[in-house]
Structure 1
Amino acid sequence: MMILGFLAAILCVPLIVTDGVFLIEVLLGLRGNDTGGLARPTGSIALIVPAHNEQSVVRASVEKMIAESPAGTRVLVVAHNCSDATAEQARAGGAEVHVLNEPDRRGKGYALAGGKAALMAAPPATVIVVDADCTPAAGAIARLAATSEKYGRAVQASYLFAPRRDGGPIVQISNFAMLVKNLVRQRGGRRIGAPALLTGSGMAFPWPLYASLDLATGNIVEDLALGVDLVRRSQPPVFEPRATIWSNPSSEQGTGTQRARWEGGFLATARGFGLPLLLRGLARLDWQMLWMGLHLLTAPLTLLLMLNGAAVLLWLLLWLIGAAPLAAPVAMIGLAGLVVMAVLAAWAAAGRAMLSASTLIRLPLYMGWKLALYAKIVRGKETPDWIRTERVD
């Protein structure tokens, strides 16, 4: 019977390690952003705004980008495979527009490649990618450009959904999970010198680096793949928590589509690159490559909670049948409890604007929704194409 306990212990080792990664990142990321002086970039800046059928939001977004950017910043909207008035609305907002109609090349990566080609004649010092449905917080563009100039690296802003306390439970909890992933854990990683994950909007690059990237792909999480590629090239991205890029939250239906696309892409990237990065980092004694591998192998928040719950039930069952000592389920309950406490601490420190207490206690129901979502991902039914996500204004 004890062989069952031995096999269960081996199975739980990856979960224990990734729980540790999660706890380190969250606990170190609870403290607020470090203070800093006014950012003053010295070089020219261009914003590339990939847009696919964004006529309803692009004008207001462009106007906000121009208002919050240093004088002389170029805003280039790449209207990619649009069937609406995205280009016209972008021009009305004051942006330059590059129209691309490539029906056989679908995906944000192709739009970013088109933006790069459009800037080749007069390249800026820094390129910043901001999605068409996003708006920068005050000073965010200057801060991103200045940080990119300082390190000579790609820089990721804190990319968040605007709080929507009147939204449904699925929307609120999804937005809180994004805050944990894109702010709290990224901030904790920065404090131990770990590389940032690129999260799609609010990504700054020195022009020579941006020009060298292979962007023309249909990868549904091209930003995450870019970050992995930069770590493998020993040019790990930097997180800048003092720069925030906001997006309006999605509707409940849009949230389902969006989470299927993002988490399906994340899990596929983790399967393909997590373990190789971990092993290569160990072989080369490369701390940043090692941590990126560990981060990719750490399940998204809700799935991590589910895995911990399943591990607790497994050890309780093994104890009941005499295949494990009582200390085993007690230890697993303690570790799972630490993970839950870290989530609650993140909510108390940074998430109360995103998620009401009454909605937080409905997290088990949300897990049921996520189980159905993961089943859809496993069956290969996640959304593969770049489509516009419906937002709630």
Structure 2
Amino acid sequence: MTGVLQILAIVLLVPIIVIDTVFLSEILFGLAGSVKPMRAAPRSSVALLIPAHDEEASLPAMLPGLLDLKSSGARVLLVADNCTDGTARTAREAGLEVVERTDPDRRGKGYALAFGRDELAKSAPDIVVILDADCAIDRAALTRIVQRATITDRVVQAAYVFRPALHASAAVQISNFAFATKNIVRQRGIARLGGPAILTGSGMAFPWSTFAALDLATGNVVEDLVMGIELIERGLPPVFEPGATVWSDSSGDSGTETQRARWEGGFLATARSVAPRLLGTGLIQRRWSKIWMGAHLLVPPLTLLLLANVVVTLLAALLALGTGMVTPLLIGGGLLWALIVAVAAAWAVEGRRHISGMTLIRLPFYIAWKLALYARILGGKRSVAWVRTERVDRP
């Protein structure tokens, strides 16, 4: 019986060791960052493609920046997709180029992108930059991702983060920190490890030939993640550009919950179906980009990762009591401690501007909120519709 328990302890530890190693590596290599000078690139024609669904309320704040980019020479095309408000009218009156799409049975960002691509194909640009209608990018950041896409002939992802909102609720602040950790720290770490960038939906620069060949017209709620996987499988892994940032305003409590349910539910579903295949084919083909993407997909969202480590550590403690073997307990406890230290380090590097000191005290309540969210996701209550996310007003 003792031997069976010892084998069980090893079986429990192996998956969590692998998953924790991936996460800790991404954090460790991503803590420090430097922006390299960009070498000169041939001038490219640029089109910003902006998919929008019922964004009349958010557009006025974004229009000055979009018009500035237009005046710099970029073509700006907004796709008003299945809108029930004045999104198209607001954009046109401001001087933007607008196309409207109405197809209630085929709703989703991917369909909007495919529709916009058909319009751009009439006079195809060298580089297409996808920007969500509630996001902002400045000239310098746009120039940087366009130049890098031109030089590398690869899809380039800018750092996509929420503006700090220290006036917001604890749930919003902690969610924003987790978002920054994934989209800045872990992206830097993956890049330094030689892995592919994770496409995050906004601030993505595509060479036209690559963009024209993508399967965009899907209803997948995590179309950006799926696009990145498709590029990796085609031997064109995206690259991360830490010197360019795309900003979005934070959501309120309701909007944050809707976002997390949609994104994390879609991520978990995609990971279950894709990660084993990517890892397997990557190992067989010896393709590092496939291997690391498959490994990255094995890492669940941070709350679930911490919970899994707590459960494994408790089970290891029980097995140690039953067998007298303390090694599983030491490994499980050590990994949990390492995760806590890694998250604290990420907070010290990127999180201070997103979380106030008092908010950290309420972390247990946030974890409880996330666990309830995951229960709803596992129960099948996962949103797949494209809905506008409400934003909080800037103080």
Same fold (TM over 0.5): yes
Cα distance in structure 2, aligned partners of 1:12 and 1:128: 43
Q: Is the contact between residue 156 and residue 204 of structure 1 (CA under 8 Å) also seen in structure 2?
A: yes
Cα distance in structure 1, aligned partners of 2:67 and 2:38: 22
**Which residue is equivalent to 1:293?**
294
Q: Is the contact between residue 13 and residue 328 of structure 2 (CA under 8 Å) also seen in structure 1?
A: no
1:55 pairs with 2:26: no
Structure 1: tracts of 5 or more residues without a match: none
**Which residue is equivalent to 2:129?**
128
**Deviation of the 1:120 alpha carbon:** 0.9
Alignment of 1:113-124 (within 5 A): 113-124=114-125
**Deviation of the 1:358 alpha carbon:** 2.0
Cα distance change on mapping 1:330 and 1:70 into 2, 3 Å: farther
**Which residue is equivalent to 1:350?**
350
**Which residue is equivalent to 1:259?**
260
Alignment of 1:198-237 (within 5 A): 198-237=199-238
**Which residue is equivalent to 1:17?**
18
**Which residue is equivalent to 1:372?**
372
Q: Is the contact between residue 127 and residue 205 of structure 1 (CA under 8 Å) also seen in structure 2?
A: yes
Cα distance in structure 1, aligned partners of 2:255 and 2:94: 26
**Which residue is equivalent to 2:141?**
140
**Deviation of the 1:5 alpha carbon:** 3.2
**Deviation of the 1:185 alpha carbon:** 0.2
Q: Is the contact between residue 41 and residue 142 of structure 1 (CA under 8 Å) also seen in structure 2?
A: no
**Which residue is equivalent to 2:73?**
72
Cα distance in structure 1, aligned partners of 2:185 and 2:112: 30
Cα distance in structure 2, aligned partners of 1:4 and 1:248: 51
Residue type of the alignment partner of 1:36: P
Alignment of 1:77-156 (within 5 A): 77-156=78-157
**Deviation of the 1:326 alpha carbon:** 1.7
Deviates more, 1:341-350 or 1:306-315: 306-315
The Cα offsets for residues 337-381 of structure 1, whole Å up to 9 and x where unpaired, read as 111101000000111001122212322221111111111111110
**Deviation of the 1:68 alpha carbon:** 4.5
**Which residue is equivalent to 2:31?**
30
**Deviation of the 1:328 alpha carbon:** 1.7
**Deviation of the 1:175 alpha carbon:** 0.4
Cα distance in structure 2, aligned partners of 1:364 and 1:21: 25
The Cα offsets for residues 85-136 of structure 1, whole Å up to 9 and x where unpaired, read as 0001112333110100111111000000011001111010000000000011
**Which residue is equivalent to 2:381?**
381
Cα distance in structure 2, aligned partners of 1:324 and 1:185: 38
Residue type of the alignment partner of 2:211: Y
Cα distance in structure 1, aligned partners of 2:52 and 2:262: 17
Cα distance in structure 1, aligned partners of 2:152 and 2:144: 12
Cα distance in structure 1, aligned partners of 2:364 and 2:40: 43
SS of equivalent to 2:175: helix
SS of equivalent to 1:246: strand
Residue type of the alignment partner of 1:251: G
SS of equivalent to 2:125: coil
Cα distance in structure 2, aligned partners of 1:263 and 1:83: 27
User: What is the total number of aligned residue pairs between the two structures?
Assistant: 392
Cα distance in structure 2, aligned partners of 1:324 and 1:289: 40
**Deviation of the 1:138 alpha carbon:** 4.9
Residue type of the alignment partner of 2:384: P
Q: Is the contact between residue 51 and residue 77 of structure 1 (CA under 8 Å) also seen in structure 2?
A: yes
Residue type of the alignment partner of 1:338: A
SS of equivalent to 2:323: coil
SS of equivalent to 2:250: coil
Q: Is the contact between residue 161 and residue 183 of structure 2 (CA under 8 Å) also seen in structure 1?
A: yes
Q: TM-score, normalised by structure 1?
A: 0.97
Q: Is the contact between residue 28 and residue 188 of structure 1 (CA under 8 Å) also seen in structure 2?
A: yes
Percent of pairs identical after alignment?
Answer: 52
Q: Is the contact between residue 39 and residue 142 of structure 1 (CA under 8 Å) also seen in structure 2?
A: no
Structure 2: tracts of 5 or more residues without a match: none
**Deviation of the 1:388 alpha carbon:** 0.5
Cα distance in structure 1, aligned partners of 2:40 and 2:84: 39
Cα distance change on mapping 1:215 and 1:37 into 2, 3 Å: closer
**Deviation of the 1:225 alpha carbon:** 0.3
Q: Is the contact between residue 28 and residue 342 of structure 2 (CA under 8 Å) also seen in structure 1?
A: yes
Residue type of the alignment partner of 2:303: T
SS of equivalent to 2:159: strand
**Deviation of the 1:39 alpha carbon:** 6.9
Cα distance change on mapping 1:253 and 1:163 into 2, 3 Å: same
SS of equivalent to 1:158: strand
**Deviation of the 1:309 alpha carbon:** 1.1
SS of equivalent to 1:253: helix
Cα distance in structure 1, aligned partners of 2:64 and 2:218: 29
Cα distance in structure 1, aligned partners of 2:70 and 2:20: 39
Cα distance in structure 2, aligned partners of 1:48 and 1:219: 19
